[in-house]
Amino acid sequence: MNLLDQLNPQQREAVETTDGPLLILAGAGSGKTRVITYRIAYLIDYCGVPPGNILAVTFTNKAAEEMRNRVDALVHTSLLGRPWLSTFHSFCVRLLREDGSKIGLRRDFSIYDEDDQLSVVKACVRRLSLSERELPSRGVLSRISHAKNHSQSPEDFYQTATDPMGEKVALAYQMYNKVLRESNAVDFDDLLLEAVRLLSEDAETALKYNQRYRYLLVDEYQDTNRSQYQLIRLLTQTQQNVCVVGDEDQSIYSWRGADIRNILEFEKDYPQARIIRLEENYRSTQTILDAAAAVVSHNLYRKGKKLWTSRRGDEKVYFYEGMDGENESLFVADWIVKRRKQHPDEKIAILYRTNSQSRLYEESLRRYGLKYSLVGGFSFYERTEVKDLLAYLKAAANPQDSVNLLRIVNSPPRGIGEGTVKKLEELARAHNLSFWDALEQLLEDRLAAKLDDKLLSARAASALENFYSLMKELQALVADAKVPELLNAILERTEYSARLEEEASPESLARLENIEELLNAATDSMERGEGLTEFLDHAALVSDVDAYDEKTSITLMTLHSAKGLEFPVVFLAGLEEGLLPHNRSLLNEHSLEEERRLCYVGMTRAQDLLILTRARSRRHYGDRMPVLSRPSRFWSEIPEELLQDISPRIGRPATAAPAAIPGERFYEYEPSESPSDHNAMPLGARVRHPRFGYGTVLQREGVGDDVKLTVSFPGVGLKKLIEKYAGLERL
DNA sequence: GATTTACGCCTTTTT
DNA sequence: GGCGTAAATC
């Protein structure tokens, strides 16, 4: 069978245009993955390109894996090697492990995840003698990450920061980078930044990779950020066989530095570029497509395109308005139960804006006895026991990795208390040593009796010695032991599992299972011929969507995670102002448009049926009273003739159980008028705050003592204040 | 010094 | 509603 016969004319053109820069504008469901994989197959089979000369980058391991499988099914030339398919991040890891030494990076560097990053920031804040209140670590970390996503150095950051915090954050940022370097560690963002640095500073390495990867393919180009863009530029210096695929309407990662200009200005960057549009959709019904198109057409900042399909839509887009969040989620569960009777194996997705929304759906689905799988939330590699064991491995592989060493120094408890740790940290700082080196130094000095006994009790000292010799032992094993052996050694020497077995609580048994699973993962990795470094890299670079199992029939996930996936039935939940679009994005039109794209992404996941739901009132985390909600503006952007209401009518008595939806529980509608408080600050009020000065009230939420105000203070910014405590003065 | 309690903040999205 | 840090208590 001819490869090209399975493509439409535009897809075919995209596959056959092998040389020179090519931009493929691929609408949702237009067969983008098919084009990329066929193109790879075509390059190998028809053009005789050695597979090793092809590099394709994606954003998730899942996408890379899927492409790998599909390419493998198309080409049978694995003897010639395989094309390199990976995520941006794993590609960078490989680059840096191979050639990072040229920019002063050691081969055995650790990769810090968000937890590790936060520990470093906390240490930095403490070292700056600031309290968590004065400089919250979370905020600092998010600003550091934001800076890195925009390729801003601490110095750049310092110069552009305008707020009073900026200076301190810049200092923390600088210190943070220093700590990372001293720990022989890089964070997620560094992987990209350092790869860019390597390719721009070392011409020889740049040439090597330019020659190796003569054909470059980039998926989800609209999501690339500054450093990913630079990376692509640096890899296409000697040749320009670069094919990027993207859709500006699905750009939903600008908060992570994704720059839509990369796609809009592709022709400027590569003047020879050809552009091909894929506008035939093979996924959804025309109705779903029309509804989604109607929403996204309200965006001003887009090139614009028209998707079409030959699939006729017989079913309208349904919508359901529940009394509250619980009712909304019960409706979904109930609907699924009924649907199951006709379509037992149909895949159904429940999509929402924020992870916190998943809780209601989990409860409802469980109540109805439905099995589901949840993407996001706590992933396997984030569990405490798994993180602990990984920390042992990381610390053994890279003793300079102070974060992970500190994580395990007293876990499981071995008598190295906070005080002892603090002393060691002080010693390390005083002599500019890493935690490990300080430990070594301390024990040596003690042996040489250079130390007065007051500094360290005999008990603490022997505990430290034990820990030291344990780590020494593990370090020695790193060189030639396999990962499962290493893990077993750790478990044995620390009595980690023995303790859990002894405890025998449900939680500890679950932990033991996780440990078992980690051992299995290590064995699998070993059988693939991987070493410790590869195993740890893998653990660091897996994402939530990677865990998405296509076989499970009900999937709960965020709209962000859902990108690139498709389902026969999609619920788009919580379509309310404040949720979608999210409150935080209402302040400027660019972020509002991104919310609209997010809505568009969600709608276009649906193949056959799309059901929009919302709650008329919703309880926000701690609030005593549910707050009345307004339907999302995106909702009203859908032409009415495409919609069909399947909600119960307001005020219908609970006793008149509607036959249409058996088992459904209806709630009496309680008009919860917020009692107006006469002392309250109304919207638009001019106020004075003891610290922030003069401002204007922009938003009121909650009632009574819980009233929260959003106040804009010129020169300070937006502040959320509890009215009762803010000490505001009305002017 | 360690465990308990209180308070405060939070939730946007994640490779 | 839940987590983490800071304060309070033994």
Of A17, A33, A174, A523, which one is the catalytic site residue? A33
Query: CA of A727 vs C1' of B15, distance in Å?
Result: 42
Query: CA of A725 vs C1' of B7, distance in Å?
Result: 14
Please tell me whether residue A249 adopts helix, strand or coil conformation: helix
- Strand B positions closer than 7 A to protein CB: 1-2, 9-15
Residues with CB under 7 A from strand B: A 59-60, 87-89, 114, 138, 142, 145, 188-189, 252, 255-256, 353-356, 376, 417-419, 541, 543-546, 558, 560-561, 582-585, 591, 621-622, 720, 722
Of A316, A605, A616, A618, which one is the catalytic site residue? A605
Sequence length of chain A is 731
Listing DSSP states for A254-300 in one string gives GGGTB-THHHHTHHHHSTT-EEEEE-B-SSS-HHHHHHHHHHHTT-S
Query: CA of A501 vs C1' of C2, distance in Å?
Result: 28
Amino acid sitting at position A183: S
Query: CA of A693 vs C1' of B4, distance in Å?
Result: 39
CA–CA gap between residue A246 and residue A222 (Å, rounded): 5
Could you identify the residue whose CA is nearest to the C1' atom of nucleotide B8?
A: A133
Output the pLDDT for position A26. 93
Of A99, A219, A269, A608, which one is the catalytic site residue? A219
Of A10, A37, A152, A250, which one is the catalytic site residue? A250
Q: Is A495 a catalytic residue?
A: no
Give whole-number Cα distances, A509 to A3, A142, A378, A379, A503, in Å: 52, 35, 18, 18, 8
Query: CA of A118 vs C1' of C10, distance in Å?
Result: 32
Q: Which nucleotide is nearest to A619 (CA to C1')?
A: C1
CA–CA gap between residue A216 and residue A122 (Å, rounded): 40
Residues of chain A with pLDDT under 70: 1, 77-79, 377, 449-455, 543-545, 547, 622-624, 649-686, 688-731
Q: Which nucleotide is nearest to A125 (CA to C1')?
A: C5
Tokens 């906390």, located at residue: A122
Q: Which nucleotide is nearest to A119 (CA to C1')?
A: C4
At A708, phi and psi to the nearest 5?
-110, 135
Strand order in the sheet with A84-87: A84-87, A54-58, A215-218, A242-246, A22-26, A274-278
Query: CA of A336 vs C1' of C8, distance in Å?
Result: 51
Of A113, A189, A220, A388, which one is the catalytic site residue? A220
Could you identify the residue whose CA is nearest to the C1' atom of nucleotide C5?
A: A132
Output the pLDDT for position A217. 96
Q: Which nucleotide is nearest to A122 (CA to C1')?
A: C5
Q: Which nucleotide is nearest to A621 (CA to C1')?
A: C1
Q: Which nucleotide is nearest to A358 (CA to C1')?
A: B11
Query: CA of A339 vs C1' of B4, distance in Å?
Result: 50
Could you identify the residue whose CA is nearest to the C1' atom of nucleotide B12?
A: A354
Query: CA of A417 vs C1' of B3, distance in Å?
Result: 14
Give whole-number Cα distances, A357 to A171, A369, A646, in Å: 36, 19, 22
Query: CA of A411 vs C1' of B2, distance in Å?
Result: 17
Q: Which nucleotide is nearest to A359 (CA to C1')?
A: C1
Q: Is A219 a catalytic residue?
A: yes
Query: CA of A264 vs C1' of C4, distance in Å?
Result: 43
Q: Is A32 a catalytic residue?
A: yes
Q: Is A705 a catalytic residue?
A: no
Query: CA of A114 vs C1' of B4, distance in Å?
Result: 29
Both structure tokens of A282:
């093979």
- Strand C positions closer than 7 A to protein CB: 1-2, 5-6
Could you identify the residue whose CA is nearest to the C1' atom of nucleotide B10?
A: A621
Q: Is A334 a catalytic residue?
A: no
CA-based torsion, A285, A25, A278, A589: positive or negative:
positive
Q: Which nucleotide is nearest to A720 (CA to C1')?
A: B9
Residue A251 exposure: Cα atoms within 13 Å on the Cβ side: 31
Q: Which nucleotide is nearest to A620 (CA to C1')?
A: C1
Both structure tokens of A19:
């040389």
Of A11, A12, A32, A324, which one is the catalytic site residue? A32
Residues with CB under 7 A from strand C: A 122, 131-133, 621-622
CA–CA gap between residue A494 and residue A634 (Å, rounded): 55
Interstrand relation of A54-58 and A274-278 (parallel, antiparallel or unpaired): unpaired
Question: Tens of pLDDT along A187-222?
Answer: 999 999 999 999 999 999 999 999 999 999 999 999
Q: Is A342 a catalytic residue?
A: no
Q: What string of H, E and C letters represents the secondary structure of A143-208?
A: HHHHHHHCCCCHHHHHHHCCCCCHHHHHHHHHHHHHHHHHCCEEEHHHHHHHHHHHHHHCHHHHHH
DSSP state of A77: -
Give whole-number Cα distances, A258 to A255, A273, A584, A669, in Å: 7, 21, 18, 43
CA–CA gap between residue A487 and residue A502 (Å, rounded): 20
CA–CA gap between residue A221 and residue A60 (Å, rounded): 13
